[in-house]
Structure formats: structure tokens, C-alpha cells
Amino acid sequence: MTILKTVAELEAIYGETSEASLIKVSDRLTQGYRKMMEVSPLVVLATGGPEGLDCSPRGDPGQVITIKDERTLILPDRRGNNRIDSLRNIVRDGRVALLFLIPGSNSTLRVNGRAEISVDADLLASLAIEGKLPRSAIVITIGEIYFQCARALMRARVWDREAWPDLAELPTPGSLMRELKQDFDSQTYDREWPERAKTSMW
């Protein structure tokens, strides 16, 4: 196996970056990038810290992120499993990356920037859904933003139902945990999970 270890070796294989790949980068929201962000209900948040890297999906109905201004984004931290891996990373290393997905579109939107965690009462109140406030909000300052080439989603046929796997053949969450802890009650967990998710969504 031949392993590349230098940037020069990479560049010798891939060549120069195209003009289009460079001019699409902005340090703030453009009108078009704002439009894409406003219709994205799902974003993947990447962070890094002393223990390593973390990548976490975040979703809301309609628009997943609040746009404060052309350089500032607000991402509510809704209910989850309380691992707070992403938040632990952000308070120690504010660098973040975001990947926005738009249902039905093969174009994605990427943001690289820095983040802080806010528990400002007025801010959290403005992010409430069904009367439920997030525990905190991630305030992101855009460093760079650009749309991502659609080839990956096109190859994956991610929005093509005919290409989707048979979900009935996938392991359940309970069975996945039973593989790691043999006495885990997977049947009860799987039976109760849909209602538990419904009542603890926000």
C-alpha cells in the first residue's frame, strides 16, 4: 500500500484547484447562501477537542439554524442524550465545521468558523419550540462559507427512494446495545423508544 505523506505528493496527483472552487468561498452570507440555509432542516456539526473529533447531526422543523446577521449563526442545543461531546469540545476549542443538507437537493452548504456556548435567557427564549427552551445555544461566527459539489449525493442517490436499503433489515437501537451489554433489555428499549422520543423531542 502506497501512503501519501506530504502536501506536495497530494498536489502532484490532484493538480491545481479550479477557479470555480475558489471563487465560491465567502467570509459571510451572500443572498444565495442565506436562501440555502433558510430551507435546510438538518446540519451536521463537527468539532474537535483533547479526546478527539466529534460529528453530530442537528435538526429542526423547517430551518435548523437562526441567522443573526451575515457573519453570525445560532444553533440551539435541543434535547439529546446528555453526552454533550460537541459542547465539551467547543468550550475548549472553538473551531467548528457545519454541513447543511437540503431535502431533495444534491447541493450542500459548508461553513467553517468558531463557536461559543451561550445560555443567555432572552436568546434561549427566542429559540423555544412548543414552549420548550434549549439548554444552551451555539453561537457561530462564520470564517468561510461555500456550497459543496453535488457529486457525492448524486453518486449515493441519497434522495432516490429506489436506492434506499430495506430498513427492516437494519439492527434496532436496542439490539445494537445488547451486542455491547449482553443483559441489556433490548426488547423493552425498542418497544418504548418511539413514545419516549415523541414526549422528549424538545
For residue 201, what are the CA distances in angstroms to 134, 152, 167, 190?
11, 30, 22, 17
The pLDDT value recorded for residue 202 is 87
The pLDDT value recorded for residue 36 is 97
Q: Which of 47, 57, 115, 112 is nearest to 86 (CA)?
A: 47
Report the domain count for the chain: 2
Q: What is the DSSP letter of 26?
A: B
- Contact assessment for residue 56 and residue 85, using Cβ atoms and an 8 Å cutoff: yes
Cell of 134: 434549549
> pLDDT below 50 — which residues of the chain?
none
Range of the domain at 73: 24-158
Strand, coil or helix: 179: helix
The pLDDT value recorded for residue 94 is 97
Q: Is the domain of 82 the same as that of 181?
A: no
Radius of gyration of the chain (CA): 20
- Contact assessment for residue 118 and residue 136, using Cβ atoms and an 8 Å cutoff: yes
Q: What is the DSSP letter of 157?
A: T
Q: Is the domain of 143 the same as that of 191?
A: no
Beta strands in 60-195 (DSSP E): 66-69, 72-77, 95-101, 108-118, 136-148
Q: Is the domain of 200 the same as that of 149?
A: no
| CATH number, domain containing residue 108 | 2.30.110.10
Cell of 50: 483533547
The pLDDT value recorded for residue 43 is 98
Tens-place pLDDT, residues 84-107: 999 999 999 999 999 999 999 999
